[in-house]
Structure 1
Amino acid sequence: MQLNHARILLTGASGGLGQELARQLAAAGAVLLLAGRDHARLRSLSASLGNGAACVTGDLGRPAGVAALAAAARDFELNVLINNAGVGAFGLLDTQEWSTVEEVLATNLEGPIHLTHALLPWLKAQPQAAIVNIGSTFGSLPFPGFAAYSAAKAGLRGFSQALRRELADSLVAVIHVAPRAIDTPLNSAAVNALNRALKNHSDPAAEVARQIVAALRRGDGEHHFGFPERLFAWLNGVAPSLIDRGLAGKLPIVKQHSPSS
């Protein structure tokens, strides 16, 4: 897709990855509708871009928020939807509050599906359109301490694959990207400590954004970022018992750093 012809609704725009995506997309000539829950931060980001980016406030975890974003996006005449909004929740499932699990599923899975459903008739009517779903390596390599998050991201990957096949005879591209850990201020102290203990590599948000922008330009289907994580994700698909045994050795470290332990 030629980004200087793109009108993009970017959810989660005020987060670390969202801000980098906004900057790089604006630099490429795209016109942006920035969406999130913090209006002040959205306005500040919009002003910094200097290209007339618009803002809309809404909570994807609530039907009213989805309706507000969808209405604003149609008025904006979008042709690209980037489902970037998400929340994490590191902790052992049996010690997490159910409200936390609900928030993770609503924001990372139900919200993107709901918003896509609301905007799909509009997108299908455009000469060229794209839906970009920001997933995670944990959607293909589910990890202890991230049960709800892994479930949501695995669901988003499945949704992306099914929708891509459903729209194969249309002009709407469906792109799923799965970064590994991203170094942003949104990571909790416990997550950062776990990554250090496990020697997990975290990519700068600017580099992840660059790869996402490149995937949107190409318009092709599925991308896993980072090695060896993408190898382990593939291996989990063909021989999950091997991953089970490998991660069993890391479980004591996960439990040690879990904020719910």
Structure 2
Amino acid sequence: MRLQDSVVVLTGATGGMGYAMVAALCQAGARVLLVGRQANALRALEADFGSRVTSVQADLRIPDDRAKVVMAARKLPGFNLLVNAAGINHFGLFESMDDAAIAELIDINLTANLQLTRALLPLLKAAPQACVVNIGSTFGSIGYAGFSTYCASKFALRGFSQALRRELADTRVGVLYLAPRATNTEMNSTQVNAMNRALRVATDSPEQVAVQLVWALERDLREVHLGWPERLFVRLNGLLPSLLDKALHRQLPTIQHYANSAAGDTDLGPSETETTKPTTVMEQRL
């Protein structure tokens, strides 16, 4: 895909990776319609990127707000690229989540993205070349304790991407599923950052993810998992999940410690497990 000829609708533009994605897409020559819930952040992006961007304040869970995005896309000559980057995270043991928190996460991470994609498909199919990008996660392929509902949303988004790609195989619309590993954004809570340090989890910057997004689009790729050895673990989990079960079980006391901290049950000091048990390479990086 030639990004210098592209007009992009980017959801989640005011989120953790939003600025980096806007910068990378604009640098590649694209024009971008920014979609986000925070009016002040949208205005700041417009000030930074000038005529290359326009914006729509919208909560994609609301039908009228999705209609605003579709109307704005119709007014953009050459619209051909949708990047679904809107999402939230939740860290904690599943049993501690209430119904409202589960519903909110699924609505934002999955349902709203599907509904907007469906609404914009007629415009995308009319373009000479188009693409839908769904920003997933390593946790869309590896179920990880402490992130059960988030994993559910990303597993579903990955399945949707695969099915939609096959459904659109006889059109000019491609579907890219991009799965970052742990990324340093404000979405991560204090407990998540502390746990990642304790487990020595490798993380990427938003800028690294944005560079990979542009790279994948320019090569018309269809599914990209970021990070090594995370790509290996994704394959292992598909072929021999019992191997990862054993490795991740050894992490469970540490995950539970910080999940309980998130619920206010304990402090953020090192747990006994962290101070006495060395981690394997697989435990460090997953």
TM-score interval w.r.t. the shorter chain?
Answer: over 0.9
Aligned to 2:250: 249
Is 1:135–1:153's contact at 8 Å kept on the other side of the alignment?
Answer: yes
Moved more, 238-247 or 80-89: 238-247
Q: Aligned letter for 2:131?
A: A
Residues 81-120 of structure 1 mapped to structure 2, 5 A cutoff: 81-120=82-121
Is 2:180–2:227's contact at 8 Å kept on the other side of the alignment?
Answer: yes
2:224 aligns to what SS in structure 1?
strand
Is 2:165–2:175's contact at 8 Å kept on the other side of the alignment?
Answer: yes
Q: Aligned letter for 1:111?
A: A
Moved more, 71-80 or 100-109: 71-80
Is 2:28–2:214's contact at 8 Å kept on the other side of the alignment?
Answer: no
Alignment pair present for 1:209 and 2:217: no
Aligned to 1:121: 122
1:14 aligns to what SS in structure 2?
coil
Q: Distance in 2 between matches of 1:98 and 1:241?
A: 31
Aligned to 1:222: 223
Aligned to 2:6: 6
Is 2:30–2:52's contact at 8 Å kept on the other side of the alignment?
Answer: no
How far off its partner does 1:67 sit?
Answer: 2.3
Is 1:86–1:108's contact at 8 Å kept on the other side of the alignment?
Answer: yes
Aligned to 1:173: 174
Alignment pair present for 1:22 and 2:22: yes
Q: Distance in 2 between matches of 1:30 and 1:10?
A: 11
TM-score w.r.t. the length of structure 2 is 0.89
Q: Aligned letter for 1:193?
A: A
2:75 aligns to what SS in structure 1?
helix
Q: Aligned letter for 2:121?
A: L
Alignment pair present for 1:41 and 2:33: no
TM-score w.r.t. the length of structure 1 is 0.97
How far off its partner does 1:51 sit?
Answer: 3.0
Aligned to 1:54: 54
Higher-Rg member (1/2) = 2
Deviations 1:74-116 (A, max 9, x none): 2224210000011000011101122111111111111111111
Is 2:14–2:36's contact at 8 Å kept on the other side of the alignment?
Answer: yes
2:186 aligns to what SS in structure 1?
coil
Q: Distance in 1 between matches of 2:246 and 2:64?
A: 44
Instruction: Report the count of equivalent residues.
Output: 261
How far off its partner does 1:136 sit?
Answer: 0.2
1:114 aligns to what SS in structure 2?
helix
Residues 186-201 of structure 1 mapped to structure 2, 5 A cutoff: 186-201=187-202
1:88 aligns to what SS in structure 2?
coil
Q: Aligned letter for 1:203?
A: D
User: For structure 1, which runs of at least 5 residues remain unmatched after alignment?
Assistant: none
Runs of 4+ residues over 3 Å off in structure 1: none
Q: Distance in 1 between matches of 2:251 and 2:238?
A: 20
Deviations 1:126-183 (A, max 9, x none): 1111111100000001100000000000000000011111111111111010000111
Q: Aligned letter for 2:178?
A: V
Q: Distance in 2 between matches of 1:181 and 1:38?
A: 24
How far off its partner does 1:69 sit?
Answer: 1.7
Q: Distance in 2 between matches of 1:119 and 1:19?
A: 23
Q: Distance in 2 between matches of 1:243 and 1:63?
A: 41
Moved more, 133-142 or 52-61: 52-61
Superposition RMSD on alpha carbons, in Å? 1.1
Q: Aligned letter for 2:136?
A: G
Q: Aligned letter for 1:178?
A: A
Moved more, 64-73 or 107-116: 64-73
Q: Aligned letter for 2:229?
A: P
Is 1:61–1:103's contact at 8 Å kept on the other side of the alignment?
Answer: no
Q: Distance in 2 between matches of 1:3 and 1:93?
A: 41
Q: Distance in 2 between matches of 1:51 and 1:65?
A: 23
Q: Aligned letter for 1:107?
A: I
Deviations 1:211-244 (A, max 9, x none): 0111111112000000111111111111112211
1:220 aligns to what SS in structure 2?
coil
Aligned to 2:146: 145
Deviations 1:185-207 (A, max 9, x none): 22110110111111111101111
Q: Aligned letter for 1:198?
A: L
Is 1:16–1:186's contact at 8 Å kept on the other side of the alignment?
Answer: yes
